[in-house]
Homo-oligomer: A and B are copies of this chain.
Amino acid sequence: MIQNHETIPALEKRYRANLINSLGGFKSLVLIGTRHDEGTENLATFSSLFHLGADPALCGIIIRPGEPDRNTLDNILRQKHYTINHVQPSFFKQAHQCSARYAPGESEFAATGLTPLYEAGISAPFVKESVIRFACKLEQVVPIELNGTTLVIGKIIYVNLPDECVGADGFIDIEKAQTVTCSGLDSYHISKRLARLSYAKTDRPVTEVG
User: Which of B170, B189, B193, B199 makes the CB contact (< 8 A) with A194?
Assistant: B189
- Residues on the B chain within 8 Å of A20, using CB: 51, 53-54, 57, 156
**Interface size of A by Cβ–Cβ distance < 8 Å?**
113
Taking CB atoms and an 8 Å cut-off, the chain A residues in 183-210 that contact chain B are 183-202, 205-206, 209
Q: Decide yes or no whether A48 CB sits under 8 A from chain B.
A: yes
| Shortest CB distance A25–B (Å) | 4
- Residues on the B chain within 8 Å of A23, using CB: 59, 132, 134, 156, 159, 172
Scan A143-161; emit 1 where CB is below 8 A from any B CB, else 0.
Answer: 0101101010101111111
| Shortest CB distance A153–B (Å) | 6
Residue among A25, A106, A157, A199 with the highest chain B CB neighbour number at 10 A: A25
- Residues on the B chain within 8 Å of A199, using CB: 186
Residue among A27, A146, A170 with the highest chain B CB neighbour number at 10 A: A170
9 closest cross-chain pairs (CB), A and B? A18-B170, A25-B28, A15-B170, A26-B181, A100-B200, A189-B191, A5-B157, A22-B172, A19-B170
| Selected A-B contacts with CB under 8 Å, 11 pairs | A1-B159, A2-B158, A16-B57, A18-B172, A22-B171, A23-B132, A24-B59, A26-B29, A96-B206, A175-B183, A191-B191
